[in-house]
Amino acid sequence: MQLGASQHSVLCGRKQLRTGKPLSRLREQPQVRTRKVKSQVRRKQNRSTAIHTKATAEAATEARPSGLTPFAAVRSEEEFFGALQKGVDSGKLPKPLYAAFEDFYNNYKQTVLESDAPDASPELVARVMGSIADRTFNQFLDPYTFPSYHTRLLEPYDYYKFGQNYVRTLINFNKSVVGHLERFEKIQEQLDAGDNVVLLANHQTEADPGVWALLLEKKLPRLATEIIYVAGDRVVADPLCKPFSMGRNLFCVHSRKRMDDIPELKSEKMATNRRTLGAMVKELSKGGKLVWIAPSGGRDRPDPESGDWLPHQYDPGAVELMRTMMAKSKKAGHLWPMAMYSWEVMPPPASLEKNLGERRLTGYAGTGISLAEELDVDALLSGIAPDQKQERQQKLTDTAWKATVEEFKSLSEAIHNDDLRANSNVHSQPWRD
């Protein structure tokens, strides 16, 4: 992990996020309220608080797993740092990891204790961080190698719950939303019919899979857990990422952006990608598969001049690859543009970093997911000749990206405007039902 030289505070809703530099400017939202709206918002928030008080309390208990390191039994901050120091003193843990985990721990502690979650406590912080340290250092003892197609590991250790427990503590469910829930329900119908579905989505944080699952798991549990993510190098190689990745279904690939980072490994990376493509074809041929890909090739970053966040441009090659693979699967396929809003809970570094071990910053904030309308590929490309391949790819990609941007903007407005969120006929909070 990289440690920042300085720290600033940036508003994340009403809470503060410690960062190395200002990452965004949140637009002022109109504060027009009525007694009726205030009452509706208050009732909904009280109900949401009651629901997630229980969920987070259960998470605190589950966050103390059985494992191979002393961190598995951690119950307090003193015990956490005591175990960390012993590991370093014994030579079992690399010395730089002490400073890295100290920074991560303190940042996460500030986020949790300053949140309005009713069960936020120093003990919860210690248990969650203990579980993260336990699973991270377990990788030094028994490293896991990801295959081209990785299915989530639930036994003998439940890595899915492990990831959910951590991300849950960062989400302000009162401000979070799902846009166009009926479209998510339509996707479930398509999957049940044996069709394949590909989500063309922007990617914001390492917490995105957890956000997706937490916002959908009550209403659409199979969408929450059966989705397959197209994952890049960092997700399966970074020591802190690996345990979280082990709880998700993944197609493991090397992105173009990092293909030349280590020249001598380029041929091996290309071979891995070929194997992964074969695995994808095999799975899609079975039908009923839901795949999430970030055609931008990585996480969104703020505009360096304005500080504003928007989904990065999509790569036409990535979009065309998914369209082609679904066409070859001989199963009906569907392309859906999707927006993810999550940057406030776990923002990436302001710029792309080649080295693994980036600094982890956290915030307590609202999140959201929203689907644009399904792409009608035939209609979109009907006016472009088949031999104009580049123009066809660009048309499809631009349409998907623009739709994602519009949904992202809509999510941002709903998350940051209480009145709009309370009266929206587009955005909902299905975990309340």
User: Which residues does the annotation mark as catalytic?
Assistant: 142
Question: How many whole angstroms separate alpha carbon 292 and alpha carbon 230?
Answer: 6
Q: Contact at 8 Å (CB) between 172 and 48? A: no
Extract the tokens encoding 207.
Answer: 């917490």
Phi, psi torsion values for 354, nearest 5 degrees: -80, -35
Q: Which residues contact 348 (CB under 8 A, 6 or more apart)?
A: 204, 205, 206, 299, 300, 301, 358
Cis peptide bond prior to 156, omega within 30° of 0: yes
**Do residues 52 and 400 make contact, with C-beta atoms less than 8 angstroms apart?**
no
CA distance 413 to 401: 19
Mapped to the 3 state alphabet, what secondary structure does the chain carry? CCCCCCCEEEEECCEEEEECCCCCCCCCCCCCCCHHHHHHHHHHHHHHHHHHHHHHHHHHHHCCCCCCCHHHHCCCHHHHHHHHHHHHHCCCCCCHHHHHHHHHHHHHHHHHHCCCCCCCCHHHHHHHHHHHHHHHHHHHHCCCCCCCEECCCCCCCCHHHHHHHHHHCCECCCCCEEECHHHHHHHHHHHHCCCEEEEEECCCCCCHHHHHHHHHCCCCHHHHHHCEEEECHHHHHCCCCHHHHCCCEEEECCCHHHCCCCHHHHHHHHHHHHHHHHHHHHHHHHCCCEEEECCCCCCCCCCCCCCCCCCCCCCHHHHHHHHHHHHHCCCCEEEEEEEEECCCCCCCCCCCCCCCCCCCCCCCECCEEEECCCCCHHHHHCCCCCCCHHHHHHHHHHHHHHHHHHHHHHHHHHHHCHHHHHHCCCEECHHHC
End-to-end CA distance of the chain: 40
